[in-house]
Amino acid sequence: MVRKLEGRLVVASHNPGKLREMRELLAPYHIEAVSAGELHLPEPDETGTTFAENAALKAHAAATATGLPAFADDSGLCVEALDGAPGIFSARWAGPDKDFPAAIARIERELERRGALDDAGRRAHFVSALVVAWPDGHEELFEGRVFGKLVFPARGDRGFGYDPIFQPEGYDITFGEMSSEQKHGWSHPQGLSHRARAFRRLAAALLG
């Protein structure tokens, strides 16, 4: 039995960009998003082995600490020829300084080392796992994926992270070259970006 969300929701993220995006997404549903940072909640270690597990760790920790339903996202880029890497380590590959150009150079180097800079080797997808957890331990998971190919060198200075090397199927520009509206694809039947697709599923199940 899926529960509906209403009232206040804790967003279990210390990332101001993610919080802003969630507030925008939730506004039409009259849900008030409170951030884990504003509540001075500690950040749990992301010790899971999947995106869903890491999102659940964060959501349950925030729900337990606040007594409110809590929402968390875990997301990343999976390169098929690298067996899914960087995957749940997408942020870690960029290091504490969030050096994504270095992480992008590493992806290109790892593909080159395997002779996999051809079309098949460049296949990749972004994943977003969204988990809503309630204080009693109940949880709901929604995932979104977008498939595409990697381009080197990176193109575009919009978006963040790996966006400038990811060209979604059916497009000839990268996420780094798209406006926020185009990247999320609100005019697209399922949404375009991984996070937009996961959020559409969440909204259909839990909101409105």
- Catalytic residue set: 74
Q: Does 109 bind its own copies (CB under 8 A)?
A: no
Contact region with its own copies (CB under 8 A), list: 31-39, 57-65, 86-94, 176-184: 86-94
Confirm whether residue 75 is marked as ligand binding: yes
For 205, the token pair is 């199940």
User: Binding-site residue total for its own copies (CB under 8 A)?
Assistant: 22
Chosen residue from 69, 87, 148, 164 binding its own copies by CB under 8 A: 87
Q: Does 93 bind its own copies (CB under 8 A)?
A: yes
- Give the footprint of its own copies on residues 28-57 (CB under 8 A): 49-52
- Give the x-and-dash track for 112-131 against its own copies (CB under 8 A): -xx----------x-x----
Q: Does 135 bind its own copies (CB under 8 A)?
A: no
Residues that bind its own copies (CB under 8 A): 49-52, 78, 80, 82-87, 89, 92-93, 110, 113-114, 125, 127, 141, 143
